[in-house]
Structure 1
Amino acid sequence: MSKPQADRPDEAKPASPPLNASVRRHLGRNLRTLYADSLSAPVSQRLESLIAQLDRPKT
């Protein structure tokens, strides 16, 4: 299934304005703080196994 597409361009949803630099910096700082612990946490065996499968060439 796919999304129905607008027949005319004027029916398309307007794009939202880009975020200004100070908002992007604020979001970046907060996201880095939020995810800092998860980046330093050890990787589970299951995830290591899945990553190893990605490294293997397909046959």
Structure 2
Amino acid sequence: MAERHEAYRMYNCKNEELPVICDFLLYSVRRDAVDFAGYSPEFNALLYRGFRRKSPPRRNW
């Protein structure tokens, strides 16, 4: 029988809440893209696409 290991979580919310939080974060960053780009050139379209690919899958509520 295989051992079960708990993954280290760097967040304080339920797993079910992650898609909603990720969507809100992405929406906010895209909405304020000019301000974020002024803060750091790392905030660009490539970063947004990568974040979208790595964020949890969405469900049709």
Both proteins in one fold, TM over 0.5: no
Bigger radius of gyration? 1
Q: What is the TM-score when the length of structure 1 is the normalising length?
A: 0.33
Q: What is the TM-score when the length of structure 2 is the normalising length?
A: 0.32
